[in-house]
Structure 1
Amino acid sequence: MAMTVMIQEAGGPEVLKLSDREVGAPGPGEVRIAHKACGLNFIDTYQRSGLYPLALPHALGMEAAGVIEAVGEGVTHLKPGDRGAYAATPPGAYSEARVMPAAQVCPLPDGISFEEAAAMMLKGMTVEYLFHRTTPIAKGDTVLFHAAAGGVGLIACQWARSEGITLIGTAGTDEKCALALEHGATHCINYRSEDWAARVQELTGGTGVDVVMDAVGADTFEGSLNSLMPLGMMISFGNASGPVPPFNLGVLGQKGSLKLTRPTLFTHIADRASCQEMADHLFGKVLSGDVKIRIDQRFPLRDVRAAHEALEARKTTGSTILQI
């Protein structure tokens, strides 16, 4: 039996319930993993609220790290006793142990702790695809990144610095802006005290940025489009303020033949080889010291409701983990 966080219905943090579940043995292409730490991500709140519907009842959680207890037939890249980490579907990482598909579980290098791994797999591989698999970004380019002091944001700030990319961040307090700057942002704008879109134009001499990376959604969408240079790329990869409402595609032409995409990590990591390649790139950044994983909040698994409340109230910085 393993303690697991389940939802019986969509709703607020109050629908998160702990239950004991039978774990069982892994089938073909599966592993059983005993978790040491689990990650917390905004996608978890989308699934809990029903924005991203799940077949109910369902367990939650998309990333974790731990020790492989058993492997099913056909699994060759892992064996019992190995350290492993993942970002993967289906949800179920908020648990002491689980059986899951093995393809997205990556061997974890000894130089990276379980807590670091649980805090970085989903966020770090998201940054990897944003900078390397969505649109060409080269040294000297300028990127606008919203929520720059969050878990994804602080990794993005460091990643950009390591590759000579100018990153203009936004955050909701002066303290969060200072944190983003400390981690490699070239500039950071407090969106509560400044007109951030106008400030982006000032910082770029009126030309706009090459790429916008926006996980905020509805609140920042229009300003993000207005921050792009002609032929610029808007990457909308999240909905922290709610989904972007329908809009007229002709606006992209009017604003300078802009490009718009809505990618997800899980498309990129669906292939086992691509997933491992992305994880290896991330591991290399961390092991080299180019990227340090900042964990600012730790909650016991049983306090998952408080963790969700803190995340949705934007009271968190860096990454948040659930301790097993």
Structure 2
Amino acid sequence: MSHAIRIHETGGPEVLRWEKVEVGHPGPGHVRLRHEAVGLNFADTYFRSGLYPMPLPAGMGVEGSGVVEAVGHGVENVSVGDRVTYTGFLNTLGAYSTERIVPAAPLIRLPDDISCETAAAMTMRGLTSAYLMRRIYDFKAGDTILLHAAAGGVGLIVSQWARLLGLRVIGTVSSEAKAEVARAHGCDDVINYSHEDVARRVRELTDGVGVNVVFDSVGKDTFDASLDSVKRRGLMVCLGTASGPFPLFNPQILATKGSPYLTRPALADYIAEPAERSALASELFGHVAAGRIRIEINQRYPLQDAVQAHRDLEARKTTGSSILTV
């Protein structure tokens, strides 16, 4: 019998339930996938809490890796026995499961040298990092970025990728332990926002100029400091809302902050086209397979312990990538 983590109401981690589920056979355009590992992402807590609305009851999770066990009519991009990974589509909700039916279209076949655990730990984070590094800004060697949550899953990949591109990385963290992790993965300078003024420190580190790009995945608590850290006509990228939603603001404020650009991108819009998804995945997998980017799975939880995993995630007890094992 297959099992899945499901919710019947929104709320705290306690609403996550371990339930038996019937999987059945894949219909046209779908496959039956046996998971080997499932990604744990902060965005999962948004669905669970209701910040991202969805019909209930519902499954949880949008990222997983495993083996194709059956294919429906018309599926040509994958075959039975293929090792695959997926992420980033609303129609893939339900990854917290031992086995499931999933659309074939978003599946990405894994090269032999990428394990399912590594894939589950990096598909969403890695593809996010890929579009940040390769699509959202025309980076040049010597550019400087401010990277919030530098010791998180995306932060560690972006730091390493930025180093490959010759960028200077100023990272922010919440503790000295996380500062050490950030430095070890490529941050040139680290700011502890628990007791340092981020914007003031950024200006000191950049001789008053500011940074080319800010990657802000924290949200409410860092929004003002992020805007005050961008150089004239730089770019602020709002990635996530770990501390709460970004505040509403009058765009006129941008005219007083050096005319920066502001964007709130979504991964789905950068991997919607198969060719672009393939290109980003290939570059990511190539860096990981060659050891240029290390994917460190710092937390592993049995799938049935998703409640504890969510508690640790929201308490900011995790670093790097976390997965649920099946």
**Shorter-normalised TM-score: what interval?**
over 0.9
Partner residue in 2 for 1:323:
325
2:194 counterpart of 1:161: no
Partner residue in 1 for 2:108:
106
CA contact (8 A) 2:88 2:267 kept: no
Structure 2 length-normalised TM: 0.97
Displacement of 1:232: 0.6
Render the CA deviation track for 1:168-197: whole Å, top value 9, x for unaligned: 100011110110110111111111121121
**Matched residue type, 1:149:** A
Displacement of 1:74: 2.2
Partner residue in 2 for 1:60:
60
Partner residue in 2 for 1:258:
260
CA contact (8 A) 1:149 1:176 kept: yes
Partner Cα separation in structure 1 for residue 28 and residue 19 of structure 2: 26
Partner residue in 2 for 1:235:
237
Superposed, which structure 2 residues align to 1:114-263 within 5 Å?
A: 114-263=116-265
Render the CA deviation track for 1:33-73: whole Å, top value 9, x for unaligned: 10000010011000100111111111001111111111222
Partner Cα separation in structure 1 for residue 62 and residue 161 of structure 2: 22
Partner Cα separation in structure 2 for residue 97 and residue 316 of structure 1: 26
- Secondary structure of the 1:118 match is helix
**Matched residue type, 1:66:** G
- Secondary structure of the 1:124 match is helix
- Secondary structure of the 2:20 match is strand
**Matched residue type, 2:315:** A
Partner Cα separation in structure 1 for residue 195 and residue 156 of structure 2: 21
Partner residue in 2 for 1:307:
309
Which deviates more from structure 2 when the two are superposed, residues 187-196 or residues 164-173?
187-196
Q: Identify unmatched segments of 5+ residues in structure 2.
A: none
Partner Cα separation in structure 2 for residue 315 and residue 288 of structure 1: 29
Q: Identify unmatched segments of 5+ residues in structure 1.
A: none
Displacement of 1:135: 2.1
Displacement of 1:312: 0.2
Structure 1 length-normalised TM: 0.98
**Matched residue type, 1:235:** V
Partner residue in 1 for 2:22:
22
Superposed CA RMSD in Å reads: 1.0
Partner Cα separation in structure 1 for residue 279 and residue 26 of structure 2: 25
Partner residue in 2 for 1:81:
81
Superposed, which structure 2 residues align to 1:264-303 within 5 Å?
A: 264-303=266-305
Render the CA deviation track for 1:63-102: whole Å, top value 9, x for unaligned: 1111111122222221001111111322111000111111
Displacement of 1:269: 1.5
CA contact (8 A) 1:104 1:276 kept: no
Partner residue in 2 for 1:47:
47
Number of residue pairs matched by the alignment: 324
Partner Cα separation in structure 2 for residue 168 and residue 283 of structure 1: 25
- Residue identity over aligned pairs, in percent, reads 53
CA contact (8 A) 1:215 1:236 kept: yes
Partner Cα separation in structure 2 for residue 280 and residue 102 of structure 1: 18
Render the CA deviation track for 1:186-235: whole Å, top value 9, x for unaligned: 11111112112111111111000000000100100010000000101000
2:33 counterpart of 1:33: yes
